[in-house]
Amino acid sequence: MTPKEVRNRKTARRTQQNRIKTGFILILIMSAVLLFFIVRFGYIAASGHVGAVDLSEKTKQIYQQDNVLRARRGTIYDTNANILAEDSNVYTLYAVLDKKSVSAAGKPLYVTDKNKTAQVLSQYISLPADKILQFLSQKNYQVEFGSAGRNLSLDTKQKIEAAKLPGIFFTDTPSRMYPNGTFASHIVGLAQLADTKTADNISTKQLTGILGIEKYFNKALTGKNGSQISKRDSYGYNIPGSKTVTKQAVNGSDIYLSLDARLQSYLEQLMQNVQDKYQPKKMDAVLMNAKTGKIVAATQRPTFNAATKKGLGDLWRDSLVEDTYEPGSVFKLLTLSAAIDSGHYNPNATYQSGSVTIGDSTIHDWNNSGWGTIPFSEVIPRSSNTGAVAIERSMGADIWQQYLNRFHVGQKTGITLPGEASGSIQFKTPLDRAVTSFGQGIDVTVMQMMSYLSAIANGGKMLQPQIIDKTINSQGKVTNYPTKVLGQPITADTAKQVIAAMRDVVEKDYGTGSVFKIDGYENQIAVKTGTAQIAGDDDKYLTGSENYIFSVGGIAPADDPEYVLYLTVQQPDLTDTSAEKIMSEIFNPLMKRALKYRTTSANLDENAIKMPKLTGLTTAEAAKTAQEKGLTVAQVGQGAKIVQQLPAADEKVIAKQRIVLLTEGAMTMPNVVGWSKNDVLKLAEITGCQFKFSGTGYVTSQSLNAGEVLTTNKTITVKLAEP
């Protein structure tokens, strides 16, 4: 064998060996891959997951259709059943542009006439036709129209649908409607869409309370969503004979607040007038029924429009319950109450006003020099700091502290609003105890002050401020919120003596509250004014004549209290006026109107008419029925049948009261000249339209003429004036 043949044989042998090795390696690799797939498929079959994907859930999505049956969120009403917050839907407009989009019958489901479509849509959304045409000229499958095409009302949607424009569609979104705009906004609160899941783990978006009553009672208002589960084939059709499982939704409870829309609206006007005129940094106001603790009207500034969210920004605090501050001289009423009740008060004894030294500190009266030697009966009318200190020292620290505890100073009231603060008190040193007598060294909330004042107005019984009248669940079960007495810190006789001192604040020529006299209610207004310092960032009090929280607490009528009204105004512009004059611009007209309504309410109970059911009747039948009851009819629309009415059937009304009837078809503006604001609010509620008010009293003019079509995307301005 030649050397060449030997080399060839060796090469062939190595080649054969390499082939064997390669084949063996390939067999190992294939066996490993096969084993991996066997293990992988076994794991998938056992676990039902591929990575983070749940295969059973994917299969369920393909062959099972889960629909959420939305529960209706409960409606929030005022005490007279006027709607303050209710469920609604808003709509988003979109256009399909792809010409391949046709129905099974070959009907175009895309925009066929872009110019016509742009012209029609421009009548209903806030975009000109040329801008709409730009959207319609895009190359996308479908387009939306920005903010102009979102949050459309049902009325606008129906009007666009009536034009029968091919390729124009809507998506609906649950929404919350606040028909009164700026109206106790932080109390009523807000509900917004949030991601949630049903009990069957179905994802959905649901309205969730994030502020005020909407937040505090979110669970009760929300109810429980239901579901409908059915089987379907791979084409999306229901499988014949398959069972559909339905779990009905449980609607949320309706909540009736103690607020009276008539007085609340008036308070909002008065507060806004003062805000615009004097530019205070902050204001709070609460009107409460002295006998029940029910809040009749309450608001704050700054505030926001709940319908438009204008002014909301970062303003999420309900200052009536969440903000604490030093109350100042209104707190002297507690000092006097404790001294009288404990037997440490002699109104005829005298003291030296002006200043008093405690340790290394000197306390001055607000005018620095005082009024010489004066009787203790003048401490409250003159608002003497030194007199309050003298009264506190006559009681002693132990007794004073006992009464602070009786009044629950530093404790929450338990009002049904979220985020209530407890306040605090400094009581360690003689100086601490002295300054508490005139409202320093103490932090309170507005609602705590309402509770303290209720004890004086209500014969010594201290009431819990309440904002809820009742709740009614979806089965009709009523839960009432009765008056709650928190304690009796003082006797009825003590309360009468304190009210007498408050009367002197108004009636005596040396009183600090003469500006709070109200015509027609002579000697029936009892008040106490206050001026509290404001702590700065360095824990030192701010200086300057305007850097105070000015306040007034009032009770009326003094001989049989019905109302407690408390106001605070922080750092207003005092260039041409006094703090007391500013507060009187809210206090006097509101208290006068409340006292007037008290008489009206008494007459209502005696002469009440039961509101008939008018919906479903023809316009002629409804008008005749209402007029036979002695009611004044206002008709909205020119339709033949009544579809809505305010007040609702079975509510109490009085003779000549204006009722609003909505007919089928287009809504038209009535002549509202001569109407009260409350009547116009009924019109706003029943139509869903926005109204802007200027002035107070009765309507003198309207921006939309009678007979013109009402639309929800335009604000109607009405001017009011006192008759």
Q: Tokens 């009528």 correspond to what residue?
A: 557
501 vs 713: which has the higher pLDDT? 501
Residues 481 and 294: their CA atoms lie apart, in Å, by 10
Candidate list 265, 329, 337, 454, residue with the active-site label? 329
Residues 548, 554, 557: CA angle, nearest 5 degrees: 165
CB neighbours of residue 607 within 10 Å: 11
The encoded tokens of residue 272 equal 């806004």
| pLDDT interval class at 235 (50, 70, 90) | very low
Q: Which residues, in sequence order, are bridge partners of residue 465?
A: none
Q: Which of 313, 310, 295 is nearest to 188 (CA)?
A: 295
**Cα–Cα distances in Å, from 242 out to 60, 65, 69, 245, 649?**
14, 12, 20, 10, 44
pLDDT at 350 over 50: yes
CA 718 centroid distance within chain: 24
Residue type, 709: V
Q: Of the candidates 688, 543, 631, 600, which has an alpha carbon nearest to the alpha carbon of residue 175?
A: 688
More confident residue, 684 or 204: 684
Is pLDDT above 90 for 225?
Answer: no
Residue 215: the pLDDT is: 96
* Token representation of residue 474: 């979806």
The residue among 298 and 689 whose pLDDT is bigger is: 298
Burial (CB count within 10 angstroms: exposed 0-12, middle 13-18, buried 19+), residue 194: exposed
- Helix 677-687 with 261-278: angle, nearest 10 deg: 110
* 3-state secondary structure at position 721: strand
529 DSSP β-pair partners: 552
Q: Of 315, 323, 539, 557, which is closest to residue 417 (Cα–Cα)?
A: 323
CA distance 275 to 582: 10
H/E stretch holding 635 = strand 632-636
Tell me: pLDDT of 602 over 60.
no
Q: What is the pLDDT of residues 40-80, one digit of tens each?
A: 666 655 555 655 555 555 444 444 455 667 788 999 999 98
Q: What is the mean pLDDT of residues 253-271?
A: 93
- Annotation marks residue 329 as catalytic: yes
Contacts of 118 (CB under 8 A, 6+ apart): 129, 130, 132, 133, 136
pLDDT of amino acid 462:
98
Burial group, residue 204, by CB count within 10 angstroms (0-12, 13-18, 19+): middle
Structure confidence at residue 599 as a pLDDT band (50, 70, 90): low
* Predicted confidence band of residue 480 (pLDDT cuts 50, 70, 90): very high
What pLDDT digit, counting tens, does each position of 7-47 carry?
666 666 777 776 777 777 777 777 777 777 676 666 655 55
The reported pTM is 0.73
Query: Hey, what amino acid is at 75?
Result: T
Measuring CA to CA, which residue among 54, 66, 136 is closest to residue 99? 136
Range 591-609 average pLDDT: 71
Question: Tokens 């139509």 sit at which residue?
Answer: 687
- Give the mean pLDDT of the chain: 87
H helix or E strand, kind and range, residue 597 = helix 579-606
